[in-house]
Amino acid sequence: MGDDALIHSYRLSEWCSNAPILEEDLALTNFSLDMIGRAQALLTYAGQIDGKGKTDDDLAYRRGERQFYNHLIVELPNGDFAHTIARLLFTSVFEYYFFAELLHSADITLAAIAAKTIKEVKYHMTHATDWALRLGDGTEESHYRMQKAVNSLWMFTGELFETDEATAVLEDKNIAVDMAVVKTKWKQEIERVMKESLLEVPEDEYMQTGSSNGIHTEHLGHILSEMQYLQRAYPEATW
Amino acid sequence: MVIRAHTKEEIFSILSVIPDPEIPVVSIEEMGMLRDVLITDKGYEVILTPTYTGCPAMGIIEQDIKMTLNANGVSPVTVKLIYDPAWTTDWMSDKAKEKLRSYGIAPPLHSSCNQDVFAHNIIKCPHCGSSNTVMLSRFGATACKSLYKCNDCKEPFEYFKCH
């Protein structure tokens, strides 16, 4: 989840000075900032649990792509505005229900981060939903672009709910959340928004997978090469 | 070893002068960010909670706390960030809200927190007090504010969102 926040934040920051209107520029970069904060909180905690003295910066700037576990959907290029909004809708609705469950985690640090995050995610979700309505139920062109974005991103949504042996162990200890619950709520809400936006929900066909094993699309490497440039070129650099 | 030369109250009163770097008319104490001060054998630990997780002012606030306390002879000082309980605009004092208003920022409404975040509340213009206002953008120059315009005095203003 920390990697999701970090990489999605990076993608949203690319809209800075490029959004269709000034208000949107502010909104997307506000979200980006929220996500950087969330990434800091989660990666700092990951470093503490790992117990090898790694900081959030070490984890962000000194890992290769095979050691990143963000979902593939967040590393995809922004595409057009509809594509960015469709992704934000899918991920923010997911995060809303995920963090709502994580509030009850037996791990008090994760529960506290969830309490903080959910307030911010609510804003992201409301914003993405509003735009989905405006674009889906907008002009012929905006509807076409929104539907196209939904269709192309759909195969990346299955991965959000994947579980493995590690999450099963954590779920047994009431640390991780029950993904089946999150999935049911996510699907219900996405179907509601799609219907209201006059958009069609794609069929569940082939779903992309791989990120839980560090297998990524070609896009993540390009993000890291830019994001980690300074730390790679000058390994001892400090502020 | 620390000689307990400073009480918790003294430290709070020293820290109460530190302004919020982004809204300098209010202090970090009035904003509700200053949660506690722990005095232990190892020194003084200031417990701070961020308004927003990505608030870029946190680093500056941490520095300000250390500098201010050191200048007052309080050391060693550590600052700890906590997320629980999560900060809410409900912790802002009424005095702070009035200061925000006279600074030109409409203060957050208490009751709408945790409800629909964009419920159609009436936000009063901090300049002329008119209720005839319109939202221009939900997001402003900082994560905590929205942009509004007053239809009566025609002035734009910021609204501190409920959180």
Question: What confidence tens digit (pLDDT) does each residue in A85-113 have?
Answer: 999 999 999 999 999 999 999 999 999 99
Strand segments, DSSP code E, in B64-144 are 77-81, 105-106, 133-137
Strand segments, DSSP code E, in chain B are 34-40, 43-48, 77-81, 105-106, 133-137, 145-150, 156-160
The alpha carbon of residue B116 is apart from the nearest alpha carbon of chain A, in Å, by: 9
Give pLDDT tens digits for B86-118: 888 888 888 899 999 999 999 988 654 545 555
Asked if the Cβ–Cβ distance from B137 to A37 is below 8 Å, we say no
Neighbours of A49 (CB within 10 A): 9
pLDDT at A63 over 80: yes
What pLDDT score does B56 carry?
Answer: 80
Fold for the domain defined by A2-233 = Ferritin (1.20.1260)
A170-174, A201-205, B81-85, B122-126: least confidently modelled range = B81-85
Cβ contacts of B52 on chain A, cutoff 8 Å: 33-34, 37, 120
Q: Pick left, alpha or beta for residue B129 (phi over 0 → left; psi -120 to 50 → alpha; otherwise beta).
A: left
Residue B2 lies in a domain: no
Residue B98 lies in a domain: yes
pLDDT at A116 over 60: yes
The alpha carbon of residue A231 is apart from the nearest alpha carbon of chain B, in Å, by: 20
Q: Choosing among A116, A131, A239, which should be mutated to test the B contact, i.e. which has the most B CBs within 10 A?
A: A116
Sort A86 into a burial class: Cβ within 10 Å, 0-12 / 13-18 / 19+: buried
Give pLDDT tens digits for A154-207: 999 999 999 999 999 999 999 999 999 999 999 999 999 999 999 999 999 999
What pLDDT score does B112 carry?
Answer: 47
Boundary residue ending a domain (B81, B116, B146): B81
Peptide bond into B56 cis (omega under 30): no
Cβ contacts of B143 on chain A, cutoff 8 Å: 30, 33-34, 120
Residue B65 lies in a domain: yes
Residue B149 lies in a domain: yes
Q: pLDDT grade, residue B77 (50/70/90)?
A: very high
| N residues, chain B | 163
Q: pLDDT grade, residue A135 (50/70/90)?
A: very high
pLDDT at A73 over 80: yes
Question: How many structural domains compose chain B?
Answer: 2
Same domain for B75 and B13: yes
Same domain for B100 and B74: no
What pLDDT score does A8 carry?
Answer: 98
Cβ contacts of B61 on chain A, cutoff 8 Å: none
- Tell me what the mean pLDDT of segment A230-236 comes to: 91
What pLDDT score does B15 carry?
Answer: 93
| Residue span of the structural domain in which B104 resides | 94-160
Residue B87 lies in a domain: no
pLDDT at B120 over 80: no
Same domain for B12 and B56: yes
Boundary residue ending a domain (B22, B47, B81): B81
pLDDT at B119 over 80: no
Amino acid found at A66: R
Boundary residue ending a domain (B81, B111, B132): B81
Query: For the whole model, what pTM was predicted?
Result: 0.89
Q: Which residue has the higher pLDDT, B116 or A79?
A: A79
Same domain for B51 and B14: yes
With contact defined as beta carbons under 8 Å apart, do B141 and B91 qualify?
no
Same domain for B155 and B98: yes
- Tell me what the mean pLDDT of segment B41-58 comes to: 88
What residues have CB less than 8 Å from B88, skipping those under 6 apart? Answer: B32, B113, B163
Tell me whether A30 touches chain B (CB under 8 Å).
yes
Percent of chain A with pLDDT strictly greater than 90: 96
Distance, in Å, from the CA atom of A110 to the CA atom of A117, rounded to the nearest integer, reads 10
Give me the residue from B53, B85, B141 closest to A120, CB to CB: B53
Same domain for B66 and B15: yes
Q: pLDDT grade, residue B154 (50/70/90)?
A: very high
Q: pLDDT grade, residue B2 (50/70/90)?
A: low
- The C-alpha angle A114, A119, A123, rounded to 5 degrees, equals 130
Same domain for B20 and B53: yes
> What is the pLDDT of chain B when averaged over all its residues?
87
